[in-house]
């Protein structure tokens, strides 16, 4: 292969590797969400997480986003058609929409589907969204480790920083700094810290009553 051909192949392999790494991170986080982050997920847990409908919505977005970048004549068009059909089926079944031109980092988790609408904006790694979330395309971006509660909305040209929790049904209209929990309509109450609380399984650790 010529130097030009090797260079072109290397360029094509970069988005392919990035796509695979993003999908692997998505599945791992979905499996962690299933076991409440109690332990590193097993292969069986990852397979189970992959076939859940909310994970299929993420896969449909990843496939469609990746297919947009394939520039091989004929093959690129075929992949975009297949991706569009797959996405339309999954979107109809889940009642959700993630724009194909959105730039979303690895570890995306759709915790619950239905009524989800994510526009063409930039979102960092490890984002979690619940049902009814609206992220407008006009927003200036979202950082890493952001959690959107059910019904939360980001509208306008606001930007959300890293390690942020947007409480359920909150309406974000202005910028949110890092390490913040924000709540309200509009969201004006800002609390320190930005990690969602997890309810761990404690039954196994509790002492059993004497029979």
Q: For position 40, what pLDDT does the model report?
A: 87
Q: Could you tell me the two tokens for 182? A: 């924000």
Q: How far apart are CA 119 and CA 85, in angstroms?
A: 19
Q: For position 56, what pLDDT does the model report?
A: 94
Q: How confident is the model at residue 58 (pLDDT cuts 50, 70, 90)?
A: very high
Name the least confident of 16-20, 66-70, 89-93, 127-131.
16-20
At which residue do the structure tokens 């030009």 appear? 4
Which residues have CB under 8 Å from 80's CB, separation 6+?
Answer: 64, 67, 68, 70
Q: For position 156, what pLDDT does the model report?
A: 82
Q: For position 71, what pLDDT does the model report?
A: 83
Q: Does residue 203 have a pLDDT over 60? A: no
Q: How confident is the model at residue 5 (pLDDT cuts 50, 70, 90)?
A: very low
Q: For position 193, what pLDDT does the model report?
A: 65
Q: How far apart are CA 129 and CA 142, in angstroms?
A: 12
Q: Please compute the mean of the pLDDT values over residues 3-21 and round it to a whole number.
A: 52
Domains assigned to the chain: 3-95 (no CATH), 103-192 (2.160.10.10)
Q: Does residue 179 have a pLDDT over 60? A: yes
Q: For position 11, what pLDDT does the model report?
A: 36
DSSP state of 77: H
Q: How far apart are CA 57 and CA 108, in angstroms?
A: 10
Q: How far apart are CA 30 and CA 27, in angstroms?
A: 5
């Amino acid at each position: 292969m010529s130097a030009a051909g090797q260079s072109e192949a290397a360029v094509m392999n970069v988005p392919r590797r990035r796509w695979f790494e993003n999908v692997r991170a998505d599945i791992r986080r979905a499996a962690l969400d299933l076991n409440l982050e109690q332990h590193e997920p097993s292969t069986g847990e990852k397979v189970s997480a992959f076939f859940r409908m909310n994970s299929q919505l993420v896969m449909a977005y990843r496939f469609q986003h990746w297919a947009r970048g394939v520039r091989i004549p004929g093959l690129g068009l075929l992949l975009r058609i297949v991706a569009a059909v797959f996405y339309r089926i999954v979107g109809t079944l889940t009642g959700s929409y993630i724009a194909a031109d959105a730039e979303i980092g690895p570890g995306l988790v759709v915790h619950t589907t239905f009524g989800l609408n994510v526009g063409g904006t930039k979102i960092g790694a490890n984002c979690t969204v619940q049902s009814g979330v609206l992220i407008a395309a006009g927003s200036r971006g979202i950082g890493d480790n952001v959690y959107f509660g059910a019904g939360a909305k980001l509208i306008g040209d606001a930007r959300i920083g890293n390690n942020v929790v947007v409480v359920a049904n909150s309406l974000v209209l202005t910028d949110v700094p890092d390490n913040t929990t924000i709540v309200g309509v509009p969201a004006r109450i800002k609390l320190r810290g930005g990690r969602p609380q997890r309810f761990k399984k404690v039954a196994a650790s509790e002492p059993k009553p004497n029979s």
